[in-house]
Chains A and B, each alone.
Chain A
Amino acid sequence: MSATRTKRLYSSKNIIKYKRQLATMFINDDRMVELINNAEVKTPEDLMYKNIFPFIRIPEAPDEQLSYLCYRVYMPQVYSSNMFFQKLVVEVYAISHQGVMVTDEGATRIDLLAEEIENILNYSTEFGKKPLELISNIEDGFGNNHRCRILRYETEDVDPCVSTK
Chain B
Amino acid sequence: MRDAWNLHDRILTADGATLRDRTATRAQRDYVRGSEGSLSRKTVIINDEERDVLLTSGSSDHIKTVQSMPNEVFYEGDYMLWGDRYWLISDVDRDAEIRYRGTARQCNRQLRWQNAKGEIVSRWCASDERATNTQGLSYRENVDKIKTVFTLFIPLDEETAKLRRYHRFIMDVDLEDPDVYVITSRNVISKVYDPEQIHGVIMITVSQDERNQEHDNLELQVADYDEPAEPAIGTNCEIAFEGKPTIKAGGSYKEFTAVFYDSAGNEVDIAPVWDLTFVPDTEDYYEYYEDGKSLFIKAANEPSILRSQVRIELKAAGMDCDCVLFAKVVYVL
Interface residues of A (CB under 8 A from B): 17, 19-21, 23-24, 27-28, 42-45, 48, 54, 58, 60, 62
Contact = CB atoms under 8 A, between A and B. Distances in A.
Contacts of A58: 140
B297 to A, nearest CB: 12
B331 A45 contact: no
Q: Is the interface of B mostly helix, strand, loop or mixed?
A: loop
Contacts of A45: 248, 251-252, 332
B242 A20 contact: no
B250 A24 contact: yes
A20 B331 contact: yes
A25 to B, nearest CB: 9
A21 B254 CA distance: 18
A45 to B, nearest CB: 4
Contacts of A17: 303
Given A20-B332, A27-B332, A28-B252, 9 more contacts: A19-B333, A20-B249, A20-B331, A21-B301, A24-B301, A24-B332, A45-B248, A48-B333, A60-B137
Contacts, number: 44
Contacts of A62: 165
Contacts of B301: 20-21, 24
A20 B333 contact: yes
A19 B140 CA distance: 25
A17, A24, A44: residue with the most chain B Cβ atoms closer than 10 Å: A24
Nearest to A17: B303
Given A43-B242, A54-B333, A58-B140, A21 B250 contact: yes
A44 B255 CA distance: 12
A44 B140 CA distance: 30
A43 B254 contact: yes
B151 to A, nearest CB: 16
Contacts of A23: 250, 332-333
